[in-house]
Amino acid sequence: MNQQERMNRILAELETKQSLSLKDIMTITGASRDTARRDIVKLTEKNAVDRTYGGISLPHSFNRLDDYLDRAADLNDEKNRLAKAASHLLKNAQLIYLDVSTTVSFIPRHLDSNDHLLAVTNSLDIADQLLRNSRSKVRILGGNIDRESRNVTGTKPLAELDHYLFDLAFISAAGIDSAGVYYAFEEEIEFKKKLRGQTKQLILLVDETKINLPHNYRVLPFEEIDTLICNQKLPAQLEEILKEASVTIINTKEK
């Protein structure tokens, strides 16, 4: 794996975790400590990440978040297209959940002026984007706020999900393959499974870098996914498995 491939992998992990320790980066890339540090320096020079004590995080001040999202849209319009396609599913929704993810964080840019919509999230930055770009009501799950990832953590947000039955929940993933949906970190397992039980429809957004990419934890089988939004034609075997699981596939390349 060359440096660019390692950096792409690191940034992909930041979409779901939003902060990574040096040890996390070494695990994700298989690189040595010195190599991981060089990758951190390179990503910092590109203004793609913030240095933190012991690792990195996504740029997280509100102004820098806007800059980050603008750069991401310029460099990779695919996330924005995925989010726009996702927003088209919201026509009759009254209650939605937006999970921590840079791809999902583009969805508020495409919400209409429906002030009857209640959007729930565990991300401070997604909440900020909702307030800036929509007229929807916004609610953040309670709990401890992680300073680096700027999302709510702990057992309280998990318990609070019991109070909701979402019309739609939007998530991303570390990767997918024919066996299902993968995440990088153990703490994501229980939350994602709980969220599945609290939503009528679970919508998964993945770009081409996540396809046929297994990761540390296989959390959801495809039978738990209602709609998959992707940006390229899927491999034939994977597409057949998704159809057998009754997953609706939306390909933004075909639009």
Domains of the chain: which residue ranges?
3-58, 76-254
Taking each helix axis as running N to C, give the angle between helix 33-45 and helix 3-17, from 0 to 180 degrees, rounded to the nearest 10.
80
DSSP string, 18-80: SEEEHHHHHHHH---HHHHHHHHHHHHHTTSSEEETTEEE---SHHHHHHHHHHHHHH-HHHH
CB contact at 8 A, 107 and 69: no
Helix (H) or strand (E) holding 140: strand 137-140
What local confidence, expressed as pLDDT, does residue 9 receive? 86
Looking at the domain covering 3-58, what would its CATH class be?
A: mainly alpha
Q: How many angstroms separate the CA atoms of 16 and 62, rounded?
A: 18
Mean pLDDT of all residues in 41-64: 74
| 76-254 classified as CATH 3.30.870.10 | no
Mean pLDDT of all residues in 170-180: 94
What local confidence, expressed as pLDDT, does residue 8 receive? 84
pTM value is 0.74
Tens-place pLDDT, residues 72-118 = 444 468 888 999 999 999 988 999 999 998 889 999 999 877 778 99
What local confidence, expressed as pLDDT, does residue 60 receive? 55
Q: Predicted confidence band at 148 (pLDDT cuts at 50, 70, 90)?
A: low
What local confidence, expressed as pLDDT, does residue 238 receive? 96
Helix (H) or strand (E) holding 180: strand 180-183
Kindly list the distances between the CA atom of residue 22 and the CA atoms of 9, 78, 85, 167, 250, in Å, as whole numbers in the listed order: 14, 28, 35, 38, 36
What local confidence, expressed as pLDDT, does residue 112 receive? 75
CB contact at 8 A, 140 and 210: no
3-state secondary structure of 220: strand
Q: How many angstroms separate the CA atoms of 219 and 213, rounded?
A: 14
CB contact at 8 A, 112 and 122: no
DSSP string, 94-125: SEEEE-S-TTGGGGGGG--S-TT-EEEESBHH
CB contact at 8 A, 56 and 44: yes
What is the sign of the dihedral through the CA atoms of 133, 113, 77 and 57?
A: positive
136-151 exposure pattern, b = at least 16 Cβ within 10 A, e = fewer? bebbbbebeebebbbb
Q: How many angstroms separate the CA atoms of 170 and 114, rounded?
A: 18
Residue 250 CB neighbour total at 10 angstroms: 18
Is 76-254 in the same CATH topology as 3-58? no
Tens-place pLDDT, residues 53-77 = 778 887 654 444 455 455 444 446 8
